[in-house]
Chains A and B, each alone.
Chain A
């Protein structure tokens, strides 16, 4: 049975070598990746990202990212936005823990206060991860989808190519509009393999899965169910 890609959050850390805050970002990010939220997060290696790493950039285009910066220069946040899309959240250590470099140790060796800052920043990152995974994500705007009924969820160009991001899309006509629905081919295949018939109950069940990857504007659920039901019926007839 095809598996839908699990939603995860990408963490982009500045790791700035010149100041203690940079080391704090590095260690805090590693703590989240390895201990606090290992199954929910992926590291985006900033040097590789900046140098052109295709996997890291494609991931950051599609999934929400958190930029963790040491100082107001915000290299991780700016780099992510420049080469991919705007981070969903940003943390700046010098703002979160304004103790100052002298009190956190050196870039090479943090002191006790520095390690406390690591824990505080790691907890903050984890909270953002939880929040982002709990809310639908609008790739086109690079932010959590709000309640604006006019907002459209449009897949970025890379998502239309299954070779680029691994997430195929299907365009449906919903309420007179052409809407790209992310992951729909995989969802259809999953439901068909589970022998779900093309009936209303299936559409009602399917929309909950579709919702994990797409924002359904308020008031349009019935239209989406209708479109999904219709398309799924066509899909099942074709593969028979």
Chain B
């Protein structure tokens, strides 16, 4: 697990995951991928009051919103970094969306997608060390606001 500390905030980035610039993590499981929100993204947006995802069966293109979160700070659409079909959604998101805050890389996963074009899509994703650098830049910028 990689970590960076900015002020009193510790942001964690698992080495096994890939990330979009928008803070969506991706882990490939065969022909499928599991997606969720990064630790940095959940911390910066605040306590999640509501989380919604598109239902299973929905076809998603790169850039389409596969879901959204609502906090007191933001209503944030979540753009998918991969093309595919949603085949599973996390049932916890309805009753306990705080799982995304508490365990963003574990219990807080959001959707599983059947991948359509992984060889093309993976090229745009960041590995953990590059995403860590990005988190540092974004965190410093956030603190200056």
* Residues of A in contact with B (beta carbons under 8 Å apart): 3, 5, 8, 10, 39, 42, 44, 54-56, 58-59, 162-163, 165-167
B49 within 8 A of A: no
Check if B8 sits within 8 Å of A39, measured CB to CB: no
The CA-CA distance from A44 to B10 in the complex, in Å, is 14
- In the bound complex, how far is the Cα of B4 from the Cα of A30, in angstroms? 26
Known contacts A39-B144, A56-B8; decide if A163 and B3 are in contact (CB<8 Å).
yes
Q: How does the 8 Å CB contact mask read for B3-25 relative to A, with 1 for contact and 0 for none?
A: 11111111000000000000000
Q: Which residues of A contact B1 (CB under 8 A)?
A: 163
A59 touches B140 (CB 8 A): no
Query: Quick check: A54 and B7 within 8 Å, CB to CB?
Result: no
Q: A39-B144, A166-B3 are in contact. Are A55 and B8 (CB under 8 A)?
A: yes
Besides A5-B5, A163-B3, A166-B4, 17 other CB < 8 A contacts? A3-B140, A8-B7, A10-B8, A42-B7, A42-B8, A44-B8, A54-B10, A55-B8, A56-B8, A58-B5, A58-B8, A58-B10, A59-B8, A163-B1, A166-B3, A166-B5, A166-B6
Contact status A55-B144, CB under 8 Å = no
Q: Across the interface, which residues of B come within 8 angstroms of A56, CB to CB?
A: 8
**Is B122 on the interface with A (CB-CB < 8 A)?**
no
**Chain A nearest CB, measured from B3 CB (Å):** 5
B34 contacts A by Cβ under 8 Å: no
CA of A221 to CA of B136, assembled, Å: 33
Closest chain B residue, CB of each to CB of A167: B5
Cβ–Cβ < 8 Å partners of B3 in chain A? 162-163, 166
Q: How far is the CA of A166 from the CA of B4 in the complex (A)?
A: 6
Known contacts A3-B140, A39-B144; A165 and B7 CB within 8 A of each other: no
Chain A CB within 10 A, most for which of B5, B9, B143? B5
Most buried by A among B9, B10, B140, B144: B10
Which B residues are CB-close (under 8 A) to A44? 8
Closest A residue to B2 using CB positions: A163
**What's the Cα separation between A44 and B3 when bound, in Å?**
20
A-B CB contact pairs (8 Å), 20 listed: A3-B136, A3-B140, A5-B5, A5-B6, A8-B7, A10-B8, A39-B143, A39-B144, A42-B7, A42-B8, A54-B10, A55-B8, A55-B9, A55-B10, A58-B8, A58-B10, A59-B7, A162-B3, A163-B3, A165-B5
Q: Is the beta-carbon distance between B10 and A166 smaller than 8 angstroms?
A: yes
Q: Which chain B residue lies CB-closest to A48? A: B8
Report the minimal beta-carbon distance from B145 to chain A, rounded to whole angstroms.
9
Within 8 A of A (CB), among B97-145: 136, 140, 143-144
Give Cα A90 to B7, complex, Å: 21
Residues of B contacting A55 in the complex (Cβ-Cβ under 8 angstroms):
5, 8-10
The digit string for B64-77, where 1 denotes a CB below 8 A from any CB of A, is: 00000000000000
Q: Chain B: which residue is nearest A164 at the CB level?
A: B5
- Nearest chain B CB to A6's CB is how many angstroms away? 8
**CA gap between A44 and B7 in the complex, in Å:** 10
For B8, the chain A residues whose CB sits under 8 A away are: 10, 42, 44, 55-56, 58-59
Q: In whole Å, how far is B134's beta carbon from the nearest beta carbon of chain A? A: 13
Q: Which residue of B lies closest to A43 (CB)?
A: B8
